[in-house]
Amino acid sequence: MMNYQDFFTSALDRLQTERRYRVFADIERKAGQFPQAIWHSPEGPKPITVWCSNDYLGMGQSRDVTRAMVEAAWRLGTGAGGTRNISGTSHPIVELEAELADLHGKEAALVFTSGYVSNQTGISTLAKLIPNCLILSDALNHNSMIEGVRQSGCDKVIFRHNDLDHLEELLQAAGDRPKLIVFESVYSMDGDISPIHAICDLAERYNAMTYIDEVHAVGMYGPRGAGIAEREGAMHRIDIIEGTLAKAFGVMGGYLTGTKAVMDAIRSFAPGFIFTTALPPAVAAAATASIRHLKVSSQEREMQQRQVARAKQVLSGLGLPLMETATHIVPVMVGDAEACKAASDRLLEKHGIYIQPINYPTVPRGTERLRITPGPFHTDAHINALGAALVEVWTALGLPLGTKAQAAA
Ligand SMILES: Cc1ncc(COP(=O)(O)O)c(C=O)c1O
């Protein structure tokens, strides 16, 4: 007789053999004390310092943001009560979308339950609505974008990561047909930035639409925290800007911004928008509070940049193999799945430092790494302790010190 359970256990065994079975640490963050947290270890609760959160600016513990969430929940209750088609749009979402359209200088915005969903359903719906569309997609685009491209059913071509010559070659070869270029601003695993203006130049020359994912940039770059495109003065050149409310804004949800016509079309045709319950009003209210704060306050961004620069300086001064980045993402290369997991385990168990290992398929095999995200609440003392712990771990595991890491292929 067929044993269905065996299919699952053997799939898991394969992951174990390949050393990429994932274990999630049981963590309790402490509002008001970030980056300190409690790790519920097998031996009981232990204090730790978190170094791998994507709550990049610590807005998830902001008093204003928390208050907005709690007050909205008291006033409007917990859930949205259904999809927007069934139950209408709760007023905090209307306010949030106005805030987002203003943030990116666009006519309109549309909120989704996550950044993942906004990419998946946004890209697929957009491309399906453009007859005979060819999608040109950066080789390192996030899985949510890849799924959006795949689900569109449109023809696609992949251009080498940030390679303008290759992109131009593909645009030229495409001829007159409609084209959509999809790319990110900050690539989250290597921490590098795309050449936005140059991509827009090509898009204009070859009459292509542009779609950018600013998930790892919103809140953190640009004078009002609208992202890299804002910092570079390129927002108006991009047709659709996508972002998340879950990282630097510290809450949850995703969004698209663009013209009224495009947003209205996605609202009307995207299954991932239509057939799912809307964000709870309290979540929308908290996100609005966070965006409003970061539009006028640069303090968090400045502190983050200071601590990122300091962390890079201290860690590379100790000979740790940092990948050079121009962003807040600080990858330390290990290059082996087992060693990467062992380094992460030792940091947590011996030093009370939490940095999740990054393994395949998130990054290519042989480029396994620790991905460190310093933020405004990491003190100089935290950075020094991190440096000392990493050196102890590198020495104990026999990993090479004193080399510069090669950028991942
Ligand atoms: C580049 C990129 N886009 C989109 C997402 C999805 O965003 P969210 O976490 O809001 O679903 C992520 C990761 O979370 C990401 O790294």
Per-residue pLDDT, 406: 45
Is the pLDDT assigned to residue 330 strictly greater than 60?
A: yes
Q: Is the CB of 55 under 6 A from ligand 1?
A: no
Q: Are 64 and 286 in contact (CB under 8 A)?
A: no
- 119 CA closest ligand 1 atom index: 4
Tokens of 242: 């996508």
Ligand 1 and 141: CB distance under 6 A: no
Cα 317 to ligand 1 centroid, rounded to whole Å = 32
């102890």: which residue's tokens? 392
* 247 catalytic residue (yes or no): yes
Query: What is the amino acid identity at position 169?
Result: E
The mean pLDDT of 36-41, rounded to a whole number, is 98
Summarize the confidence of residues 346-358 as an average pLDDT: 97
pLDDT at 403 (0 to 100): 55
- Pick from 220, 242, 241, 239: nearest CA to 231: 220
Distance CA 397, CA 388 (A): 14
**pLDDT at position 126 over 50:** yes
Question: Which residue, by CA, sits nearest to atom 9 of ligand 1?
Answer: 115
What string of DSSP letters covers 59-116? GGG-HHHHHHHHHHHHHH-SS--S-HHHH---HHHHHHHHHHHHHHT-SEEEEES-HH
CA separation, residue 345 to residues 216, 290, 400 (Å): 26, 33, 18
Ligand 1 within 6 A of 244 CB?
yes
Contacts for 157 with CB less than 8 Å, ≥ 6 apart: 134, 135, 136, 137, 170, 174
Residue 203 burial (CB count, 10 A): 21
Catalytic residue from among 106, 247, 312, 341: 247
Tell whether the model's pLDDT for residue 408 goes beyond 50: no
234-266 confidence digits (pLDDT tens): 999 999 999 999 999 999 999 999 999 999 999
CB atoms within 10 A of CB 281: 25
Residue 216's closest CA among 10, 323, 373?
A: 373
Task: Give the percent of the chain with pLDDT over 90.
Answer: 95
Ligand 1 contact via 120 beta carbon (within 6 Å): no
- pLDDT per position as a tens digit, 137-179: 999 999 999 999 999 999 999 999 999 999 999 999 999 999 9
What distance in Å separates the CA atoms of residue 368 and residue 334, rounded to the nearest whole number? 6
What's the CA-to-centroid distance between 384 and ligand 1, angstroms?
A: 30
| CB distance 336 to 330 below 8 Å | no
144 CA closest ligand 1 atom index: 4
pLDDT, residue 402, reads 83
SS3 at position 399: coil
The pLDDT of 71-93, averaged and rounded, is 97
Q: Is 13 helix (H, G, I), strand (E, B) or coil?
A: helix
14 pLDDT exceeds 60?
A: yes
As a whole number, mean pLDDT of residues 401-406 equals 62
- Report whether residue 254 contacts ligand 1, using a CB cutoff of 6 Å: yes
Mean pLDDT of the 369-389 span: 98
Distances from the Cα of 245 to the Cα of 155, 242, 252, 297, 367, angstroms: 30, 10, 5, 17, 29
Kindly report the pTM of this predicted structure: 0.96
Q: Cα(18)–Cα(3) distance, rounded to whole angstroms?
A: 24
Residue 66, exposed/middle/buried by CB under 10 A (0-12, 13-18, 19+)?
middle
Q: Ligand 1 centre and the CA of 185: distance in Å?
A: 12
| Contact (Cβ atoms closer than 8 angstroms) between residue 250 and residue 58 | yes
Nearest atom in ligand 1 to the alpha carbon of residue 187 is: 1
Q: How confident is the model at residue 90 (pLDDT cuts 50, 70, 90)?
A: very high
The length of the chain is 409
Contact 248, 227 (CB under 8 A): no
Give whole-number Cα distances, 17 to 152, 301, 346, 357, 366, in Å: 35, 42, 21, 17, 16
Residue 19, pLDDT > 90, answer no
Instruction: State whether the beta carbon of 194 lies less than 6 angstroms from ligand 1.
Output: no
User: Would you say residue 404 has pLDDT above 80?
Assistant: no
Pocket test for ligand 1, best of 137, 142, 249 (most atoms within 8 A of CB): 142
Ligand 1 centroid to Cα of residue 388, in Å, is: 31
190 SS3 class: coil
115 in contact with ligand 1, CB cutoff 6 A:
yes
